[in-house]
Amino acid sequence: MKNVLFVILLVVGNTLFAQKYAFVDSEYILKNIPAYESANDQLSQLSQKWQGEIEAKFAEVAQLYTNFQTENVFLSNEMKIKREKEIVDKEKSAKQLQKTYFGSEGELFKRRQSLIEPIQDDIFNAITDLATENSYIAVFDKASGMGIMYVEPKSDISDAVLEKLGYKTK
């Protein structure tokens, strides 16, 4: 009985030790891909431009409201209603523009998808190829914050991923 248990433990132990794992640092990989940095710069510039447009619209709404408050005493009921409607319409327009640019299906999201998703797909494919070539059963991302406290440097295949993608490592 002891011999059978020993053999089972030996087989299970060898199986566990035969499994190979690897780690990547996705932040490091992305920082070393010029196209990613360029895409991020484009998105940042676009975001700033659109944010400026939206802030200008909201500033216009604020100015209309301030003017309305100071002139309110001198306006007829019809004019008050007309000005209030104008303020509400401008505010709705500004909020709609904000949603158009920054909403969950907005222009920034679409641009990010078109610029960054292909890079991420290439990285994923390179990792998958390396995992298959080297018989890794799992590849973990150190940058994802999943609680990895230590990774043996020789288990980190980030440079191999970059090389597979055709980029030089630092």
- Condensed to tens digits (0 to 9), the pLDDT of residues 105-116 reads 999 999 999 999
pLDDT at site 18:
62
pLDDT at site 91:
96
Helices (H), the chain: 2-18, 26-31, 34-71, 77-102, 107-133, 158-164
Q: Report yes or no: 12 and 19 within 8 Å, Cβ to Cβ.
A: no
DSSP state of 22: E
Q: Beta partners for 156?
A: 23
pLDDT at site 170:
65
pLDDT band at 83 (very low <50, low <70, confident <90, very high): very high
- Structural element, H or E, at residue 21: strand 20-24
DSSP state of 33: -
